[in-house]
Amino acid sequence: MYPDVLFSIGGFEIDLYMLMYLVGIAGMFVICILTRKKYDLSKLKAGVYTLITFVFGVLGAKLMGKIYAASLDAVTNGEYIPNSGVCIFGAIMFLPFFMLLLSLFVRETFRHLSDYMTPGIFFILACAKFGCFMEGCCYGVPSENGVYNHIIQCNVFPVQLYESICTFAVTAVLIVLALKSKKIRAGALYPAGVIIYCSARLFWENFRYYGVEAEKDFFAGLTYWQCWSVAAVVFSAVWLVILYGSEKFRSCPLKKEAIGLFIIADNITRKKDEKNKIKYRQNEKKYQEKAREIKKKAHKK
């Protein structure tokens, strides 16, 4: 683990932790540019949507940081306040809500927008986890066969490294599904990625070191982040169930109370798809008329 500063830019110090974030941002843009054609996006739109999603991810991470601090402060009666302003897990949990908000103001549907941004989001998450490994934060339990950690000055299980490798694998799977698969339904990519990632995290959290009992046994024998992982898996599973059986859920009497977000998103998507189809048909008619006129002129000549 190497926490030392590599270089400085205008007084801004760059270490390997920050460098991995920069690599993640660059990779996110590259992935989004490479996959834009499938979603019929220009380079400008692809870049703008990627930048907005990144900003939303940062906001989600900061929001989770505040929730994390407040949660631990509450269960310890104010005796322990986590010294963390950002928790990247928030980028996973809160991005769908931000994407839904973005879809209200752009021509893209919620389903396609979430699918488009998903591989890039998980790539930057994988880079961030590797950055944690290089920095030494979020370390694992002490282990003789582990990696030396400069923070607690002993060997620890490299849980961040394994998380990073798993997340890179999830990213690769998502890229293949985004580019090659025609069977997966629009809007299913993000919840599928979350289920795979959070299921793996449920396992890896068993090897994480927790400094206080409040985090180690937060609820029902689960650690703090295992609780959030379970919530994310349930949330994503409901998302997929509604996505693949939306007609059944439309007749549900509790739809406004129980699944309002998904129904709203699905309605927005359907309306936008219908408008896009109408515009496509109108443009198609115009092109056909122009083609006929050209043929007539060519025939007269």
Question: What's the pLDDT tens digit per position in 258-281?
Answer: 344 555 555 555 665 666 556 556
Section 283-287 average pLDDT:
62
Amino acid at 280: Y
The half-sphere exposure of 194 on its side-chain side, counting CA atoms within 13 A, is 30
pLDDT band at 112 (very low <50, low <70, confident <90, very high): confident
Collect contacts of 224-230 with beta carbons under 8 A, ≥24 apart: 224/68, 224/71, 224/72, 225/89, 225/201, 226/201, 226/202, 228/89, 228/93, 229/198, 229/199, 229/201, 229/202, 229/205, 230/198, 230/202
pLDDT score recorded for residue 258: 39
Section 168-176 average pLDDT:
90
Mean pLDDT of the chain: 78
Q: Indicate the SS3 state at residue 223.
A: coil
Residue 184, pLDDT above cutoff 80:
no
pLDDT digits (tens, 9 = 90+) for 218-229: 878 888 889 899
pLDDT band at 253 (very low <50, low <70, confident <90, very high): very low
The CA-CA-CA angle for residues 11, 62, 147, to 5°, reads 70
pLDDT score recorded for residue 265: 57
Q: Is 53 left (phi over 0), alpha (psi -120 to 50) or beta?
A: alpha
pLDDT score recorded for residue 166: 92
Residue 256, pLDDT above cutoff 70:
no
Where is average pLDDT lowest: 88-102, 210-224, 278-292? 278-292
Residue 159 contacts by C-beta under 8 Å, 6 or more apart in sequence? 138, 139, 140, 141, 204, 207, 208
Higher pLDDT pick, 245 / 123? 123
Where is average pLDDT lowest: 65-74, 171-180, 202-211, 280-289? 280-289
Section 58-70 average pLDDT:
86
Is 257 in contact with 264 (CB distance < 8 Å)? Answer: no
Section 210-225 average pLDDT:
80
d(CA 270, CA 264): 10
pLDDT score recorded for residue 152: 81
